Amino acid sequence: MTNLKHKRLELPDLPYKYDALEPVISKAIMTLHHTRHHLAYVTGVNAAMDKLEKARAGEGLEIDYKAVMRDFSFHMSGHKLHSIFWKNLRKSSKDNAPTGSLLEKINEQFGSFTAFQTEFAGAGKSVEGSGWVALIQDGDDLHIIQIQNHNLLSVLETKTLLVLDVWEHAYYLDYQNDRGKYVDAFWNIINWDDVAARLA
């Protein structure tokens, strides 16, 4: 019956080829990560919307609201984070670093780029289980936070500038259990132009 219709999500294209981030992240990981893992979050949030719309339309479907709300938050957050993550990355280069007003802001807020790197890497390496480390903006301030799974420990009403996926699916094929090595290699592939553009 229904013209209740929330827009369904679609898997966004990557802004580069699957092998663009080698050797830091292999083509095999990027292909699986994008076409399987990210797609699963898109599919998951759409499935949650399907259930809610059927229930709203009175189609007799009894749904487990707690489970559906959990699915919606988990999958939607997973989709949002991956969509930012892909854009935060670019081809590897050795002297990759922020410049201009973004660098000034990092220096002002963290003392130095090195101090920022220490905190970001420390947070990323120590995320418990699956999750992310993120640089977020709250007004004039920048903060580094950990996110468990895709949606726990996160902070509402802030802007996300830079994220690093530390789920095993993001690095295991290339780095096995050495998350630290993956986090340290991440500095070479950050698209600082994208991060600077997000800084309001």
Place of tokens 């660098």: 103
Q: Which is nearer to Fe ion, 75 or 105 (CB)?
A: 75
Q: Which is nearer to Fe ion, 50 or 168 (CB)?
A: 168
Residue 190 backbone dihedrals phi, psi, to 5 degrees: -75, 130
Task: Tell me if 34 is assigned to a ligand binding site.
Answer: no
8 A C-beta contact, residue 183 and residue 88: no
Q: Tell me the window of 7-15, 58-66, 100-108, 167-175 that interacts with Fe ion (CB under 5 A).
A: 167-175
Place of tokens 């663009």: 20
The nearest distance, CB 133 to Fe ion, in angstroms, is: 13
171 binds Fe ion (CB under 5 A): no
Render 139-195 in DSSP notation, one character per residue: TTEEEEEEEETTTBS--TT-EEEEEEE-SGGGTHHHHTT-HHHHHHHGGGGB-HHHH
**Residue choice 165, 171, 186, 191 for contact with Fe ion (CB under 5 A):** 165
Which residues does the annotation place in the binding site?
A: 33, 82, 165, 169
Which residues does the annotation place in the binding site for Mn(2+)?
A: 33, 82, 165, 169
The footprint of Fe ion (CB under 5 A) covers: 37, 165, 167, 170
